[in-house]
Amino acid sequence: MSAAPRTAVTVRVPAKVNVQLAVGTARPDGFHDLASVFLAVSLYDEVTATATTGDGPTVSCEGPDSDQVPLDRTNLAARAAEVLAARAGITPAVHLHIAKNIPVAGGMAGGSADGAAALLACDALWGLGTPREELLEICAGLGSDVPFSLAGGAALGTGRGELLTPVETGGFHWVFAVAHGGLSTPAVFREFDRLTEGTEVPVPQASPELLAALASGDPDALAAVLPRSNGLQPAALSLRPELAETLEAGIAAGALAGLVSGSGPTTAFLVRDADAAAKVAAELEASGTCRATRVTASPAAGATVLA
Ligand code: C5P
């Protein structure tokens, strides 16, 4: 049975870090096959969907980087509303307000998160009660990372990252260093292609060591595998060599391990506990090698309708 329609619905949605990102060669459709181990972290955007009398979705955004967020139909939140409305045969008469805290173009799936959040918010606003499997299918059509933004927790993503299998994880503490400016995901994949041209690129596979470390909840075990786990890291560092200094500064501050988050340029640091997180964040900010830091924990729940 569908829930009764409401006049406004707010959905909270987490950012992600890829604790493993094994990248294969480019496929005929231009995407790369991946073995991506996603972990949702406690850094959230909130999307509020409000009923309007208009004939299409409108978007507004607040937050430190809101001037970099597109407010037109290229915003995945607007696309999500349009796709869901078209499937239901209704008009997407909705305003989507994004309270943005996830770095923009930062390799933390911020845009994907807003797409997943808008989808869930509109589904509740319009009282559609769309089954979970269908919501995940719509997410996959919106973008490779969008299904995980809906799901949250920890999952292995195969295909182009959209085919999810939940994986076990203990709790971990993280510090993220937000870089100056963003990086374009397609540009990072193109740089990966350039750097690997003429080499044998293995079929991407999840690392058993990494999955065991994740399940164990032992930060030292996870730290031992993280530095080699992001296949896009060499490409991100090639485009933004200064990120090497951020990684060094985080380790010097006491992080157990550091890596580029997804396609970057945000860098992620695994730390032992909340006290270590506060110290590493303060030292990273003082180092001048990043624009800001965010202290988080994992895993975090996926997109959730707030009461
Ligand atoms: O799926 P999404 O729209 O987020 O992907 C953005 C871009 O990132 C794609 O157009 C493609 O250039 C690149 N990409 C890729 N392989 C993937 C995921 C993304 O090459 N598995």
Q: Is 262 in the pocket of ligand 1 (CB under 6 A)?
A: no
Task: Give the model confidence (pLDDT) of 212-260 as tens digits.
Answer: 999 999 999 999 999 999 999 999 999 999 999 999 999 999 999 999 9
Count of C-beta atoms within a 10 Å radius of residue 306: 10
pLDDT value for 254: 98
Each residue's pLDDT tens digit, 263-293: 999 999 999 999 999 999 999 999 999 999 9
Task: Show the DSSP H helices in the chain as ranges.
Answer: 76-88, 110-125, 132-142, 146-151, 185-196, 208-216, 219-225, 233-239, 243-252, 274-287
Residue 149 has pLDDT above 60, yes or no: yes
Q: Distance (Å, rounded) from C-alpha 261 to C-alpha 267?
A: 5
pLDDT of the residue at 6: 76
16 noted as active-site residue: yes
Residue 4 pLDDT exceeds 60: no
CA distance 219 to 298: 12
Residue 305 has pLDDT above 90, yes or no: yes
**Mean of all residue pLDDT scores within the chain:** 96
Q: Report the pLDDT averaged over residues 44-68.
A: 96
Tell me if 110 is assigned to a ligand binding site: yes
Is the model's pLDDT at 52 over the cut of 90?
yes
Nearest CA owner, ligand 1 atom 8: 186
Intrachain domains 8-167+300-305 and 172-298 with the same fold: no
C-beta of 100 in contact with ligand 1 (< 6 A): no
Homologous superfamily of 172-298? GHMP kinase, C-terminal domain (3.30.70.890)
CATH topology of domain 8-167+300-305: Ribosomal Protein S5; domain 2 (3.30.230)
Looking at residue 246, its pLDDT comes to 98
* 75 touches 110 (CB < 8 A): no
- Predicted ipTM? 0.97
- Measured CA to CA, the distance from residue 119 to residue 88 in angstroms comes to 12
Domain boundaries, the chain: 8-167+300-305, 172-298
Residue nearest to atom 13 of ligand 1 (CA): 186
The verdict on the CB of residue 158 being under 6 Å from ligand 1 is: no
> What pLDDT is recorded for position 281?
98
**pLDDT for residue 2:** 53
